[in-house]
Amino acid sequence: MIAIIGLAVGVIAGLLITPDVPLWMQPYFPIAVVAALDAVFGGLRALLDGIFDDKVFAVSFFSNVLIAAAIVYLGDQLGVGSQLSTGVIVVLGIRIFANVAAIRRHLLNA
């Protein structure tokens, strides 16, 4: 419950404060969001599996975000930025779909 409240507080704070994203960060921001989404769904699935752990969730969240951004940054430096972001999105998308499927099985038994 406290987690959902935290999420709501975060969303409202983000909408109210509307911090300006620095220009150099803008290309990596959407990738970071997708990576964070993956971590959140992974955590949700772990919660439903009954093996959720605060520390693992926090670490996976930050490492996902940072690694996704770092991969895209590296790709930009190598000149294959758009291709690498596509690859990252595909991999994260597959994981998110699989996790959501597991969550659905838990919640709906189907």
Partner 1 sequence: MTDEKSERHPADTRRTPDATMSLLNELMTHTMDEGYTEAATRKRDDQSSGNGGGGAMAAAVLAMFGVLVAVAFIETERAAPADAEERSQLIERVDVESARVEQLRESVATLQEDVSTLQGDLASVTGSSNDLNARIQELSMRYGTEPVSGPGMVITVDDASGGDPTGEVLDTDLQALVSGLWAAGAEAVSINDQRITSTTSIRTAGAAINVNTRSLTRPYVIRAIGNPATLPARLAETPGGEAMWELRINAGVRYENEVATEITVPGRSMSRLRYADVPKGSE
The three-class DSSP label of residue 97 is helix
Stretch that binds partner 1, among 45-53, 68-76, 77-85 (CB under 8 A): 45-53
One of 28, 57, 68, 85 touching partner 1 (CB under 8 A): 57
CB of 100 to partner 1, least distance (A): 9
Single-letter amino acid code for the residue at 38: D
One of 80, 94, 104, 105 touching partner 1 (CB under 8 A): 94
89 binds partner 1 (CB under 8 A): no
The three-class DSSP label of residue 96 is helix
